[in-house]
């Protein structure tokens, strides 16, 4: 078995000093901090041992990034109380060795795909560590793949892994917060640079392309998700993908986008009107803004997701747009765009300190238009810190 241990593996911090990005301060902080990989792995191993498990099979790309810093494809990890083995093939073995945190003493096994199945590789590693009771991530592997693994490991007692890692990821360490804050700063800067082009005549697709260019230019390694942008009646589609529709004077605009830094995502929505708002449009915006302010004022560690959701929902329910309000208030954000906690009427989860969540109430009137305002916030003991700082202007000035 190939057990080469990598010597160095640190996430690359994005440098914005050349363009004076507002993400510069976060970037400097990120260089001073380090992700706590050993602590993350130790906490997961504790849960594993407490449950009487000899090992865990990790397939999720998000959890591989969280535990082991791996950002590529076609890799799985076998974690035991004392070892970590990464199984991949020739395409990604060098990347696995480079990215694995050296303090974890990770072993990398390069499987020959033509001569050895994944099931056989897993059987060999589990046999070496004498594992009999093994967790597996049942939501991150196909039925076909899992059948093959089970057939080749008939003596192993497999059981689905509880969502311990999802719960761990909900609470961010300082390094993680710095990455999200930097991603938010990049999004703020990209919008500032692209916004002058958002005027009558431009198409949804043209503006989205310019915004995404500015995100990459400002240092984003990727987009958090496909940019959402809808003009006029299409702004009532919560997840409208940019099309050929051209902006006209008086149109409502909903824009939802984000940046990725070291795997961590930002998520921000701003709503506009092209020119002067009509009384109905302004009333919609005022209602959504009031709902968001009420929720932001109530965020603190210890409040339940349902209670927070209901605060914003009550504001919208008391407005003329009660039947047009979108359900749910927001979600956690980090290595995944949507992760725990999910803020809705059934969310009994108490918000932990240092969770990062979105607050995004919205109103959507079919065949007319929509308004949504969304910010990323860090939950603190006594309140929250807003990470997305782009101005919330509603009326866009007319340009000729």
pLDDT in tens, 139-167: 999 999 999 999 989 899 999 999 999 99
Let me know whether 160 and 187 are in one domain: no
Q: What is the DSSP letter of 299?
A: -
Q: Dig out the tokens for 5 from the structure.
A: 């241990």
65 burial (CB, 10 Å; 0-12 / 13-18 / 19+) is: buried
Let me know whether 180 and 222 are in one domain: yes
Let me know whether 301 and 201 are in one domain: yes
Domain count, the chain: 2
Let me know whether 42 and 158 are in one domain: yes
For the segment 34-52, the average pLDDT, to the nearest whole number, is 97
Residue with the bigger pLDDT between 17 and 355: it is 355
11 pLDDT band, cuts 50/70/90, is very low
Residue 320 covered by a domain = yes
Residue where one domain finishes, among candidates 126, 150, 168 = 168
Let me know whether 45 and 127 are in one domain: yes
390 pLDDT band, cuts 50/70/90, is very high
Let me know whether 43 and 153 are in one domain: yes
398 pLDDT band, cuts 50/70/90, is confident
Task: With a cut of 90, say whether residue 32 has pLDDT above it.
Answer: no
Q: Dig out the tokens for 181 from the structure.
A: 């804050």
Residue 236 covered by a domain = yes
Provide the pLDDT for residue 23: 46
State how far the alpha carbon of 25 is from the alpha carbons of 15, 177, 184, 258, in Å. 10, 13, 12, 19
Q: What is the DSSP letter of 140?
A: G
Closest CA to 66 of 186, 162, 171, 187: 171
CATH assignment of the domain containing 280: 3.90.230.10
Residue 264 covered by a domain = yes
31 pLDDT band, cuts 50/70/90, is low
Residue 231 covered by a domain = yes
The answer to whether 218 and 211 have CB atoms below 8 angstroms apart is no
For the segment 87-104, the average pLDDT, to the nearest whole number, is 97
Share of the chain above pLDDT 90, in %: 90
Let me know whether 385 and 292 are in one domain: yes
CATH assignment of the domain containing 45: 3.40.350.10
Q: Is the dihedral of CA 151, 156, 159, 162 positive or negative?
A: negative
200 burial (CB, 10 Å; 0-12 / 13-18 / 19+) is: middle
Residue 333 covered by a domain = yes
Task: With a cut of 70, say whether residue 211 has pLDDT above it.
Answer: yes
CA–CA gap between residue 95 and residue 92 (Å, rounded): 5
Let me know whether 224 and 354 are in one domain: yes
Residue where one domain finishes, among candidates 143, 168, 193 = 168
* pLDDT one-digit tens code per residue, 83-92: 999 999 999 9
Q: What is the DSSP letter of 104?
A: G
**pTM greater than 0.85:** yes
In terms of residue numbers, what domain contains 346? 173-396
């Amino acid at each position: 078995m190939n057990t080469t241990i990598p010597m160095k593996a640190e996430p690359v911090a994005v440098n914005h000093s050349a363009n004076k990005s507002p993400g510069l301060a976060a970037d400097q902080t990120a260089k001073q901090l380090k992700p706590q990989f050993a602590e993350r792995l130790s906490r997961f191993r504790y849960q594993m041992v407490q449950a009487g498990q000899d090992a865990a099979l990790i397939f999720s790309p998000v959890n591989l990034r969280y535990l082991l810093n791996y950002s590529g494809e076609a890799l799985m990890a076998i974690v035991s109380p004392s070892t970590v083995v990464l199984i991949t093939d020739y395409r990604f073995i060098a990347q696995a060795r480079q990215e694995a945190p050296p303090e974890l003493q990770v072993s990398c096994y390069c499987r020959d795909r033509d001569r050895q199945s994944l099931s056989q590789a897993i059987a060999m590693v589990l046999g070496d560590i004498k594992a009999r009771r093994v967790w597996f991530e049942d939501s991150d592997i196909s039925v076909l793949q899992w059948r093959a693994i089970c057939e080749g490991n008939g003596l192993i007692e497999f059981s689905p892994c509880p969502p311990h890692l999802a719960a761990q990821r909900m609470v961010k360490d300082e390094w993680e917060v710095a990455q999200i804050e930097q991603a938010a700063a990049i999004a703020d800067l990209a919008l500032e640079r692209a916004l002058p082009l958002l005027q009558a005549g431009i198409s949804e697709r043209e503006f989205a392309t310019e915004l995404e260019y500015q995100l990459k230019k400002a240092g984003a390694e990727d987009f958090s998700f496909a940019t959402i942008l809808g003009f006029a009646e299409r702004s009532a589609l919560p997840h409208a993908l940019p099309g050929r529709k051209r902006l006209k004077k008086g149109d409502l605009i909903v824009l939802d986008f984000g940046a990725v830094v070291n795997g961590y995502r930002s998520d921000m929505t701003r709503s506009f009107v092209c020119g002067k708002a009509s009384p109905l449009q302004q009333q919609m915006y005022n209602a959504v803004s009031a709902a968001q302010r009420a929720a932001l004022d109530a965020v603190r560690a210890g409040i339940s997701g349902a209670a927070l959701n209901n605060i914003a929902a009550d504001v919208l329910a008391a407005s003329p747009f009660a039947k047009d309000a979108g359900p749910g208030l927001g979600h956690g954000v980090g290595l995944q765009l949507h992760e725990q906690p999910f803020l809705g009427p059934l969310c009994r989860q108490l918000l932990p300190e240092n969770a990062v969540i979105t607050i995004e109430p919205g109103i959507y009137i079919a065949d007319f238009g929509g308004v949504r305002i969304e910010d990323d916030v860090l939950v603190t003991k006594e309140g929250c810190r807003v990470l997305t700082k782009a101005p919330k202007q509603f009326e866009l000035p007319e340009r000729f």
